[in-house]
Amino acid sequence: IYPLLDRCHCRPKEGDAIFDFGCGKGSAMITFLDYGFEKVGGVEYADNVYEILISNFEKLGINPKGKNVACIHGDAALVRHELDEYNWFYFYDPFERELFQKVIDNICDSLERKPRNVHLIDILPRFHEYIQASGKFVLTNQFDIMTRQRVVDVYVSIREFEK
């Protein structure tokens, strides 16, 4: 993930926090901590995968529900106020359209509650038009990774883009 984050021009600063939607077993979250994010969070729906996620953090001696890590078990559409703590959001082709739209709406609501500069990393984007239609983000970077036309879209909040 390091080369991907480098190509996203991701340079974590003090206080930067990233949230992984559909975090799976936690490998990206662990990498984000190593990369320099002060806080990582993620949501995983599948019971068995969530159990592995928690176990992976515990094996590394990291509290999966501590000060700098938040592992959430449940429906990504129901993660709302927790998003206020993050300024980076990471998607690796996690959801179908309806759920993805709810998640983007929740991020937009979070921006209304707590205005801040936000970045989205969307790997294998399928619903670019919905992010654009939100009026909250602008596409600032797009590139291919590996093979088979894997595309990464990087967005920043309009507030950041207008600086």
| pLDDT higher than threshold 90 for residue 49 | yes
Note the pLDDT of residue 82.
97
pTM (2 d.p.): 0.93
Helix (H) or strand (E) holding 120: strand 119-123
Q: What angle do CA 103, 109, 112 make, to 5 degrees?
A: 150
Tell me the per-residue pLDDT of 16-29, one tens digit each, with 9 for 90 and over: 999 999 999 999 99
pLDDT of residue 93: 83
* Among candidate residues 113, 151, 158, the one with its CA nearest the CA of residue 134: 158
Residue 1 has a pLDDT of: 81
Mean pLDDT of 130-157: 86
For 81, the 3-state DSSP assignment is helix
Is pLDDT larger for residue 148 or for residue 12? 12
Q: Give tens-digit pLDDT for 94-135.
A: 789 999 999 999 999 999 999 999 999 999 898 999 999 999
